Every structure is written in structure tokens, then in C-alpha cells.
């Protein structure tokens, strides 16, 4: 039962003491989050993983790309454990390394050698990957002069890229790329989508030639469900409502909202409200429900009336957390995530560039 699992996790954690640190993403269910030593957005958790050199193991309650990133940034010899190996991210899976390499070759056909700067010292294209991508993709980016971003620093990272290149290739999330570039003043007609499946309609050579940001076709299946109609309904039913959404939502939704930001920006906006306020939030339901429980002075609800969970985040069941911790108590490391050196070295270059421009 839930109580038994809770007691097993508490007992295993007590037996392990400082040897283990549990990190939890904001989208984790309450029965998991209550055991986490640190709870945060993907950027905060990456930084936390870097700052725990004394722990033998980091148990990462989140999704696969986050655990990979923790392995890249954690101390050598430290084990990063993902309680359920099936906890992936459908968006991260939308950028496959072979497709990205193919895209890069096509862009080289169009723009000429991609490692040769022009008279102004700018490269033809700088690759930028959202944190929500495999370590292999981060490695590709590191090898090709690019950088990683998260939803909390995408704008600063794009500024870094535009200081070095004529164009940006942004993957996997088209919405974060479009929303961020639009806020920076890039016109929509200079943001074509590169589509690996030309049968579904790709961008013309002319569009790509004039591009400022070449978007990938990926999206988050949770955030793309939010709609402008939901925002209009919330405004009609709750005059004065404040609408905050994640930048993985489609552009019309971000435009219709009062604010858009990472999971931590959403959390802070609510925490900092001094007057009782009604908030309609466009992000994953576990975070929305936790914020509602923590702030009874406010009215907080999810924009999507049909509950909107991230099914892969939800795969971190407390049963798996109990099991991985108990195995550690018994001296066994299970579900370890390790990135091979050949990928890890360039991937770290791309992450370090992000950490240098957004400390």
C-alpha cells in the first residue's frame, strides 16, 4: 500500500544517510516529491547534480534525459539512478541523432561548409538543443559549436548563438524555439520548420535560405493540448484571472497568456503574489495541484479541464523508488544511467557553454 511504500522509502533513506541524494522534478507525483532532497525545474536539477560531489549516488526522479544530464555534470564515480528506465520523454525522442546529422548535411549543401565563418566572423548555423534531448544530441551540438538551453534560459542562449552565427538550428521543441525567437523580434516567416519527412511537406530552399531560426518539428504532447479557447473560457468565468503557461505551449496560447515561463517561473509567479489571486496554469497537472495545495489563499487551476499528466514522468512510481533505494542499502546499484565518454565529452562542452552564459 501507499503507506507501506512510504515507510520503506523513509527507512531506506535513513539507512543510506548522506550517501544518497534524491532529486525530483516539479512534475513528479506527490508520493515521490515528498522524499526528494531537492525539487526543481530541469535547469535547477542539473545544477544540483553538479553540486553534490559527496554523495555516492543520485537517485533522479524525473525523465531519462534529465538523468543523463545529471550523469554528465556529476562527479566521476558517482552513480545516477533512474528508478524506472521506461521514464523517457516523447519530445526528446522526436530528435533522433541520425535525423539531426542528416539535417546538418542538408544545411551544409545549402549554406556551404558549416565550420567556416563569413567576413563578419559569423558561422552559417549554430545548433541549439533544448535540454529535453538525448546525450547523443547534446554531443552533436558540442562538436559543432553549439549549446544547450532550458526553458528558463532559452532567450539568453539564443542571444549567445546569434552573436556567433547567422542562423540557429533549434531542436527538438518547435514551440519553445518559436516562442523565444518571436519574443526576440524574429519574424515568423524567418522561422521555417525542417521536416525530415519531406512527404509531409518541408521547407523550400528559399525559405531555408532566408531563415533566422530553423525549427525542428518536435513538440510536447502534454503542452500542445492547451488552447486559446481554454484561456478565453478561463477569462470569461474568472474575471481578473492571471494566465501563466509553459513556453512549450503553442504560440497562440503563449500570446494569449499573461505570462510564460519555465516550471520554476510559474512557481515563483504564484509564490510572489501578495494579494489573493486566481491563476489558470498551462502546465503539467502534478505541479499545478501541488501549487494549489501549497497556496490555499489563491485559486489555482489547470487550464485543461481533462487532467493533463505527463505519462512518462508518472512512470516514477514510489514502488520503483523504494526498490532502487533498498538495492543501494544492500550494496547494489540498479538502473544506473551512464553516458559513454565518446558522447559525454562533447555533450559536456555544450552544457558548459550554457552554464557559462547562464551561471
Annotated binding site: 25, 42, 89, 130-132, 151, 220, 246-248, 263, 310
153 binding ligand 13P? (CB under 6 A):
no
Residue at shortest CB range from ligand 13P: 41
- Residue 249 near residue 224, CB atoms below 8 Å: yes
- Residue 216 near residue 171, CB atoms below 8 Å: yes
Task: State residue 3 phi and psi, 5-degree precision.
Answer: -65, -40
Helix, strand, coil percent content, the chain, rounded in steps of 5: 45, 15, 35
Q: Which is nearer to ligand SF4, 63 or 123 (CB)?
A: 63
201 Ramachandran zone, left/alpha/beta (phi>0; psi -120 to 50) = left
E strands, the chain, are 20-25, 38-40, 57-61, 79-81, 123-130, 147-149, 165-171, 213-215, 242-245, 259-260, 278-282, 299-302
**From ligand 13P, ligand SF4, none, which one binds at residue 262 (CB under 5 to 8 Å depending on kind)?**
ligand 13P
Q: In whole angstroms, what is the distance from residue 213 CA to residue 178 CA?
A: 8
Q: Work out how close the CB of 219 gets to ligand 13P at its nearest, in angstroms, rounded to a whole number.
A: 11
Task: State residue 113 phi and psi, 5-degree precision.
Answer: -55, 130
Q: Work out how close the CB of 88 gets to ligand 13P at its nearest, in angstroms, rounded to a whole number.
A: 11
41 binding ligand 13P? (CB under 6 A):
yes
Please name the residue that has the C-alpha cell 557559462.
356
148 binding ligand SF4? (CB under 6 A):
no
**From 12, 29, 145, 248, residue interacting with ligand 13P (rule: CB under 6 A):** 248
Known binding-site residues for iminosuccinate equal 25, 42, 130-132, 151, 246-248, 263
Within 10 Å of residue 299's Cβ, how many Cβ atoms?
A: 14
How many residues in total does the chain contain? Answer: 359
Q: Could you tell me how many residues of this chain bind ligand 13P (CB under 6 A)? A: 10
* Residues between 30 and 89 with contacts to ligand SF4, criterion CB under 6 A: 63, 89
281 binding ligand SF4? (CB under 6 A):
no
The contact mask relative to ligand SF4 for 211-250 (x = CB under 6 A, - = no) is ---------xxx----------------------------
**From ligand 13P, ligand SF4, none, which one binds at residue 52 (CB under 5 to 8 Å depending on kind)?**
none
312 binding ligand 13P? (CB under 6 A):
no
**From ligand 13P, ligand SF4, none, which one binds at residue 42 (CB under 5 to 8 Å depending on kind)?**
ligand 13P
Amino acid at each position: 500500500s501507499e503507506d507501506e511504500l512510504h515507510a520503506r522509502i523513509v527507512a531506506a533513506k535513513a539507512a543510506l544517510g548522506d550517501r544518497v541524494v534524491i532529486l525530483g522534478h516539479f512534475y513528479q507525483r506527490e508520493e515521490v516529491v515528498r522524499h526528494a532532497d531537492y525539487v526543481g525545474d530541469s535547469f535547477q536539477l542539473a545544477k544540483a547534480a553538479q553540486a553534490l560531489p559527496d554523495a555516492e549516488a543520485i537517485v533522479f526522479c524525473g525523465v531519462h534525459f534529465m538523468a543523463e544530464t545529471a550523469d554528465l555534470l556529476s562527479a566521476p564515480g558517482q552513480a545516477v539512478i533512474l528508478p524506472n528506465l521506461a521514464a523517457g520523454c516523447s519530445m526528446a525522442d522526436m530528435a533522433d541523432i541520425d535525423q539531426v546529422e542528416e539535417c546538418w548535411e542538408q544545411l551544409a549543401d545549402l549554406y556551404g561548409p558549416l565550420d567556416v565563418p563569413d567576413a563578419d566572423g559569423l558561422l552559417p548555423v549554430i545548433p541549439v538543443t533544448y535540454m529535453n534531448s538525448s546525450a547523443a544530441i547534446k554531443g552533436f551540438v558540442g562538436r559543432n559549436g553549439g549549446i544547450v538551453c532550458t526553458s528558463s534560459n532559452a532567450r539568453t542562449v539564443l542571444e549567445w548563438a546569434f552573436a556567433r552565427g547567422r542562423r540557429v538550428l533549434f531542436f527538438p521543441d518547435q514551440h519553445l524555439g518559436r516562442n523565444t525567437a518571436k519574443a526576440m523580434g524574429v519574424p515568423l516567416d524567418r522561422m521555417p520548420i525542417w521536416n525530415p519527412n519531406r512527404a509531409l511537406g518541408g521547407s523550400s530552399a528559399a525559405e531555408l535560405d532566408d531563415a533566422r531560426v530553423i525549427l525542428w518539428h518536435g513538440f510536447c504532447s502534454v503542452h500542445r493540448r492547451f488552447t486559446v479557447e481554454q484561456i478565453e473560457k478561463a477569462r470569461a468565468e474568472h474575471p481578473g484571472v492571471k494566465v501563466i503557461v509553459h513556453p512549450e505551449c503553442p504560440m497562440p496560447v503563449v500570446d494569449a497568456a499573461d505570462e510564460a515561463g519555465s516550471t520554476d517561473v510559474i512557481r515563483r509567479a504564484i509564490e510572489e503574489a501578495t494579494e489573493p489571486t486566481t491563476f489558470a496554469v498551462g502546465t503539467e497537472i502534478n505541479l499545478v495541484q501541488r501549487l494549489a495545495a501549497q497556496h490555499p489563499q489563491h485559486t489555482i487551476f489547470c487550464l485543461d479541464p481533462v487532467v493533463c499528466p505527463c505519462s512518462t514522468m508518472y512512470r516514477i512510481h514510489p514502488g520503483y523508488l523504494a526498490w532502487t533505494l533498498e538495492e543501494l542499502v544492500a550494496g547494489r546499484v540498479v538502473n544506473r544511467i551512464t553516458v559513454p565518454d565518446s558522447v559525454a565529452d562533447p555533450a559536456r562542452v555544450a552544457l558548459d557553454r550554457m552554464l557559462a552564459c547562464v551561471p
